[in-house]
Structure 1
Amino acid sequence: MTSPDDQALEWLVCLNDTEADDRLREEFARWHAVPEHARAWRQAEAFWNRLNPVTAEIRRRRRLSRRAAIAGGSALVLAPLALLLTRPGRFADYRTFAGETRELLLPDGSRVELAAGSALSLDYATKERRLALHLGEAFFQVAADPEQPFIVKAGQAEFIALGTAFNIRLFEDQVSLTVTEHRVLARRGQVESVVEEGHRLVIGGSLATHAQAVDTDTETAWRQGTLVFEAAPLGEVMDVLGRNAGWRVMISDRARRIPVTAMFKLSRLSDAPETIARTLPVRLSRLPGGVLVIRAE
Structure 2
Amino acid sequence: MSETRLTEAQYDAITEAAAQWCMRLHEPDCTDREREAFAVWLNADPLHAFEYEAMLDIWDVSEHLPRPEPIGAHVVQLPQVPRRSTWQKYATAAAITLLAVPVAAYSGWELGWVPNAYERHQADAQLQTVTLPDGSQVELNLGTQLTYANYKDQRRVTLSKGEAFFKVSHDVAHPFMVQAAEGRVRVTGTQFNVWMYEDQVKVTLLEGSVLVTSNQQLSGDGLRLEPGMQARYKAGDYTPQISQTYANAPDLAWRNGKLVLDNLTLADALPMINRYLGTPLVLADSATRQLRIGGVFNTKEINNLVTSLPKVLPVYLSVNQDGNPVLNALPRG
TM-score interval, smaller chain: 0.5 to 0.7
Q: How many residues align?
A: 208
**For residues 173 and 258 of structure 1, what CA distance do their matches in structure 2 show?**
24
Once the two structures are TM-superposed, the CA of residue 152 in structure 1 deviates from its matched residue by 0.2
Whether 2:148 is the aligned partner of 1:122: answer: yes
Of stretches 159-168 and 142-151 in structure 1, the one that deviates more from structure 2 is 159-168
Whether 2:291 is the aligned partner of 1:263: answer: no
RMSD: 3.2
- Residue aligning to 1:111: 137
Once the two structures are TM-superposed, the CA of residue 249 in structure 1 deviates from its matched residue by 3.0
- Residue aligning to 2:210: 184
Cα distance, 1:267–1:208 mapped onto 2, change above 3 Å: closer
- Residue aligning to 1:224: 256
CA contact (8 A) 1:198 1:216 kept: no
| Runs of 5+ unmatched residues, structure 2 | 1-56, 61-118
Deviations 1:169-214 (A, max 9, x none): 1123221010111211112323621111112111133424532233
Matches within 5 A, 1:137-286: 137-188=163-214, 189-190=218-219, 192-204=222-234, 205-208=237-240, 210-215=242-247, 217-235=249-267, 237-244=269-276, 246-252=278-284, 254=286, 255-256=288-289, 258-285=291-318
Of stretches 211-220 and 247-256 in structure 1, the one that deviates more from structure 2 is 247-256
The TM-score, its normalising length taken from structure 2, stands at: 0.54
CA contact (8 A) 2:181 2:201 kept: yes
Amino acid at match of 2:212: A
Whether 2:129 is the aligned partner of 1:96: answer: no
**Bigger radius of gyration among the two:** 2
Deviations 1:103-123 (A, max 9, x none): 111000101111111111112
Amino acid at match of 1:272: L
- Residue aligning to 2:31: none
CA contact (8 A) 1:285 1:292 kept: yes
The TM-score, its normalising length taken from structure 1, stands at: 0.60
Once the two structures are TM-superposed, the CA of residue 253 in structure 1 deviates from its matched residue by 5.6
**For residues 265 and 188 of structure 2, what CA distance do their matches in structure 1 show?**
30
Cα distance, 1:278–1:162 mapped onto 2, change above 3 Å: farther
**For residues 225 and 147 of structure 2, what CA distance do their matches in structure 1 show?**
24
Cα distance, 1:251–1:209 mapped onto 2, change above 3 Å: closer
**For residues 152 and 246 of structure 1, what CA distance do their matches in structure 2 show?**
25
CA contact (8 A) 1:139 1:167 kept: yes
The one of the two structures with greater contact order (alpha-carbon pairs below 8 A, sep at least 6) is 1
- Residue aligning to 1:65: none
CA contact (8 A) 2:212 2:240 kept: no
Of stretches 265-274 and 117-126 in structure 1, the one that deviates more from structure 2 is 265-274
Once the two structures are TM-superposed, the CA of residue 239 in structure 1 deviates from its matched residue by 3.9
Cα distance, 1:181–1:218 mapped onto 2, change above 3 Å: same
**For residues 290 and 253 of structure 2, what CA distance do their matches in structure 1 show?**
23
CA contact (8 A) 2:230 2:242 kept: no
- Residue aligning to 2:27: none
Cα distance, 1:245–1:148 mapped onto 2, change above 3 Å: same
